[in-house]
């Protein structure tokens, strides 16, 4: 059961304004996930049934037009961005051993790990092929950069798993590369379709980056507090799987030695069972030392920076709509 | 212990002629597998230590020049092709649960499956990013097409695993997409650097494709006969893991009903233990019904077609060197 969700309603209202384009992206995604190979087609349909909020394509479309006219290339590029996002989810679910994704079984659970690996590869390469075929040169430059960033972040995350030595800088690098880089990429690809896109590239870069950081910090806070939107969603997955995120990093930094000592002992095991048992203690530790408040404050700060970046755009509907979009992200926290 | 290997010596002699360029590709690969992320760097070095014969880069270089002058872009593109090849090996070893690769532990064995998945993704995306950054537009196009082909082949292979219904056409599609498409891609990328590359594109396409088919059929024959080059290399891996290849397809097609019946019963189990036990019977079945001879004959045919394609090139050192290269592939069978 969901609480009334005003922010989601706001996003939905915003998306209604660009609905024909979002529908066109959906149709492109249907085509790009289709195949004459039965298994690929079946898994493709499974993945499409779990379509998300289309947040990245929405940002791309809003970035692509200041006049309401969306260029066709932007629609196709937005489909490619969403496809890359989907590929990372398929591979992530395998890496994290996730059971479900968007209310249905994860690909690795339903079809096995080999098929999940291949499906992720197929979605990735199809997306990049799509941009190449349409000769969308700037988008595929930006996209390959973002793709490398995302892979590096996964590697860094594996390397630093379970380590309380992860500091805020490392955390920021991980979430920038893992999450914010694709959102930044979506915004910059969008802006590349503007007649004076070059001029505004750094604006959209900054806007996308900060928005992405808010997005991921918020998700990481939800793992401590619970997502107010999804009552009963379990917390503590990050702790259990050894991902050390901002609330814990901040709490750890300010905690006195004896408190640290206790946490370090809890953190010493990699056994999910044992970590699950210690979760209430970890949650209390983070609360006691203001970890969530600190993360919240940082997220707010990045949100302000995202809005500041928009101040460099000409006043008009584009700026307003992008402001609504970033407010949706910021207000997920309230 | 290896037998004296004249074909390998021939390839080595050919590669000596382009050694400075192959060294430059090696240096590019060192750079492309380096990282400021410790784990990525370590796995990158592990992968580099297992460097193969550089067959694809060799074909690319030979295709790129009729005058002996190799353009710098060709060296960089060859590194990208080899990197994509390496990425597929890392993912393949995970899919096939392989223990070793080129004499050292497979990435999935040494570093775990999550790291193998991420490393493959990283190598893939780095290769495409490299081509994008160097503005190698035509190579980028060809490479994304080949990458999609390879992923599709993996999917088709999973779909048809263990099935005796796989016919020769399906088999050919799988090996074309899985193996030949990247070799074809290497040759076409090479040719794109020729001053009159467009004119010869279909020649290199045909040459690369047929060479790749010979290459894979030969590997599949080795799995029945044993590779004469590597005494004691175990046979029967394909059967054990459910890959139905040309020798078995051909034997199955010509076998009488009562013989087929026996084989169908052996094929009904997916248990590797049981399949390993039945391997001598399968080998005898294939021998009895001329499966290897048939595959051998087809490989020879594709080899002839590859050489025929070269007849369309102007006489000169390029044609001669490429002939040597395809002969190396054909003669692996002798």
* pTM for the structure as a whole: 0.94
- Dist CA B292 CA B218 (whole Å): 10
The CATH classification of domain A136-334, taken from the options 1.20.1250.20, 1.10.730.10, 1.10.600.10, 1.10.3720.10? 1.10.600.10
Select from A125, A137, A154 the Cβ nearest to the Cβ of B147: A125
Closest residue in B to A144 (Cα–Cα): B129
Residue of B54, B85, B302 whose CA lies nearest to B179: B85
Residue A17 is predicted with a pLDDT of 87
Which pLDDT band holds residue A101 (cuts at 50, 70, 90)? confident
Both ends of chain B: CA-CA distance in Å?
A: 18
Measured between CB atoms, does A113 come within 8 Å of chain B? yes
Rg of chain B in Å (alpha carbons): 20
Token couple for B193? 């650097």
Which pLDDT band holds residue B3 (cuts at 50, 70, 90)? very low
Question: Do B39 and A114 count as a contact with CB atoms less than 8 A apart?
Answer: no
pLDDT average, residue stretch B151-162: 97
Which pLDDT band holds residue A214 (cuts at 50, 70, 90)? very high
**What's chain B look like in SS3?**
CECCCHHHHHHHHHHHHCHHHHHHHHHHHHHHCCCCCHHHHHHHHHHHHCCCCCHHHHHHHHHHCCCCCCCHHHHHHHHHHHHHHHHHHHHHHHHCCCCEECCEECHHHHHCHHHHHHHHHHHHHHHHHHHHHCCCHHHHHHHHHHHHHHHHHHHHHHHHCCCCCCCHHHHHHHHHHHHHHHHHHHHHHHHCCCCCHHHHHHHHHHHHHHHHHHHHHHHHHHHHHCCCCECCCCCCHHHHCCCCCHHHHHHHHHCCHHHHHHHHHHHCCCCHHHHHHHHHHHHHHHHHCCHHHHHHHHHHHHHHHHHHHHCCCCCCHHHHHHHHHHHHHHHCCC
Which pLDDT band holds residue B2 (cuts at 50, 70, 90)? very low
Question: Do B148 and A126 count as a contact with CB atoms less than 8 A apart?
Answer: yes
Counting every residue, how long is chain A? 334
Residue B90 is predicted with a pLDDT of 96
The CATH architecture one would assign to domain B6-328 is Orthogonal Bundle (1.10)
**Interface with B, mutate which of A147, A155, A189 (most B CBs under 10 A):** A155
Percent of chain A exceeding pLDDT 90 equals 83
Which pLDDT band holds residue B67 (cuts at 50, 70, 90)? confident
CA distance B293 to chain A (A): 30
Mean pLDDT, chain A, as a whole number?
A: 93
Residue B258 in this model has a pLDDT that exceeds 70: yes
Select from B114, B128, B140 the Cβ nearest to the Cβ of A95: B114
Residue A13 is predicted with a pLDDT of 84
Residue A102 is predicted with a pLDDT of 85
Question: Do A129 and B117 count as a contact with CB atoms less than 8 A apart?
Answer: no
Return the higher-pLDDT residue of B32 and A317: B32
Residue A141 in this model has a pLDDT that exceeds 80: yes
Residue A2 is predicted with a pLDDT of 41
Q: Which of A296-300, B63-67, B210-214 has the lowest mean pLDDT?
A: B63-67
User: Measured between alpha carbons, how far is residue B301 from residues A248, B217, B323 in Å?
Assistant: 65, 11, 15
Question: Do A125 and B125 count as a contact with CB atoms less than 8 A apart?
Answer: no
Q: What is the ipTM of this complex?
A: 0.94
Residue A1 in this model has a pLDDT that exceeds 50: no
Which pLDDT band holds residue B5 (cuts at 50, 70, 90)? low
Question: Do A91 and B121 count as a contact with CB atoms less than 8 A apart?
Answer: yes
DSSP track, A26-72: HHHHHHHT--SSHHHHHHHHHHHHT----HHHHHHHHHH-SSS---H
- Dist CA A224 CA A251 (whole Å): 12
Which pLDDT band holds residue A227 (cuts at 50, 70, 90)? low
Contacts of B114 in chain A (CB under 8 A): 94-95, 158
Residue A231 is predicted with a pLDDT of 54
Question: Do A155 and B117 count as a contact with CB atoms less than 8 A apart?
Answer: no
CA distance B42 to chain A (A): 11
Q: Angle A72-95/A137-160 helices, nearest 10 degrees?
A: 20
Residue of B218, B87, B76, B69 whose CA lies nearest to B150: B87
Contacts of B159 in chain A (CB under 8 A): 37-40
Residue A168 in this model has a pLDDT that exceeds 60: yes
Question: Do A40 and B119 count as a contact with CB atoms less than 8 A apart?
Answer: no
- Dist CA B141 CA A129 (whole Å): 7
**Which residues 29-88 of chain B have a CB within 8 Å of chain A?**
35, 37-40
Percent of chain B exceeding pLDDT 70 equals 95
**Which residues 133-172 of chain A have a CB within 8 Å of chain B?**
133, 137, 140-141, 144-145, 147-148, 150-152, 154-156, 158-159
Burial class (CB in 10 A: 0-12, 13-18, 19+), A98: middle
Question: Do B124 and A122 count as a contact with CB atoms less than 8 A apart?
Answer: no
- Dist CA B291 CA A56 (whole Å): 53
Residue B227 in this model has a pLDDT that exceeds 80: no
Which pLDDT band holds residue B229 (cuts at 50, 70, 90)? low
Q: At the top level of CATH, which class does the domain A17-135 belong to?
A: mainly alpha
Residue of B147, B144, B146, B178 whose CA lies nearest to B160: B178
How confident is the model over A23-33, as pLDDT tens digits?
A: 999 999 999 99
Mean pLDDT, chain B, as a whole number?
A: 93
Question: Do B154 and A121 count as a contact with CB atoms less than 8 A apart?
Answer: yes
Residue B13 is predicted with a pLDDT of 84
Question: Do B158 and A118 count as a contact with CB atoms less than 8 A apart?
Answer: yes
Which pLDDT band holds residue A133 (cuts at 50, 70, 90)? very high
Select from B118, B133, B148 the Cβ nearest to the Cβ of A151: B118
Residue A94 is predicted with a pLDDT of 92
CA distance A144 to chain B (A): 5
Kindly list the domain boundaries of chain B, sorted by start residue.
6-328
3-state SS class at A286: helix
Question: Do A140 and B145 count as a contact with CB atoms less than 8 A apart?
Answer: no
């Amino acid at each position: 059961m969901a609480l009334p969700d005003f922010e989601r309603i706001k996003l939905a209202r915003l998306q209604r304004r660009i609905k024909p384009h979002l529908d066109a992206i959906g149709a492109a995604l249907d085509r790009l996930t289709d195949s004459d190979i039965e298994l690929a087609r079946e898994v493709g349909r499974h993945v499409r049934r779990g379509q998300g909020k289309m947040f990245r394509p929405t940002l791309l479309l809003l970035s692509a037009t200041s006049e309401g006219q969306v260029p066709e290339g932007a629609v196709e590029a937005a489909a490619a961005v969403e496809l890359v996002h989907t590929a990372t989810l398929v591979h992530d679910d395998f890496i994290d051993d996730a059971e479900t994704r968007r209310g249905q079984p994860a690909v690795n659970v339903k079809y096995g790990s080999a098929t999940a690996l291949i499906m992720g590869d197929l979605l990735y390469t199809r997306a990049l092929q799509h941009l190449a075929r349409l000769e969308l040169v700037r988008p595929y430059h930006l996209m390959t950069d973002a793709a490398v960033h995302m892979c590096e972040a996964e590697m860094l995350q594996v390397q630093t798993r379970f380590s309380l030595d992860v500091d805020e800088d490392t955390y920021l690098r991980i979430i920038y590369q893992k999450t914010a880089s694709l959102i930044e990429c979506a915004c910059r690809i969008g802006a590349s379709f503007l007649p004076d896109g070059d001029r505004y590239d750094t604006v959209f870069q900054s806007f996308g980056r900060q928005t992405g950081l808010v997005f991921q910090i918020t998700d990481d806070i939800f793992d401590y507090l619970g997502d107010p939107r999804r009552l009963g969603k379990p917390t503590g997955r990050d702790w259990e799987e050894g991902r050390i995120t901002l609330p814990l990093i901040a709490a750890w930094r300010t905690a006195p030695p004896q408190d640290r000592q206790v946490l370090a002992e809890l953190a010493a095991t990699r056994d999910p069972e044992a970590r699950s048992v210690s979760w209430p203690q970890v949650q209390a530790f983070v609360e006691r030392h203001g970890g969530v408040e600190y993360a919240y404050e940082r997220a707010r700060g990045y949100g302000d920076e995202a809005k500041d970046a928009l101040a460099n755009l000409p006043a008009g509907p584009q700026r307003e709509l992008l402001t609504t979009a970033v407010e949706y992200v910021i207000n997920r926290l309230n």
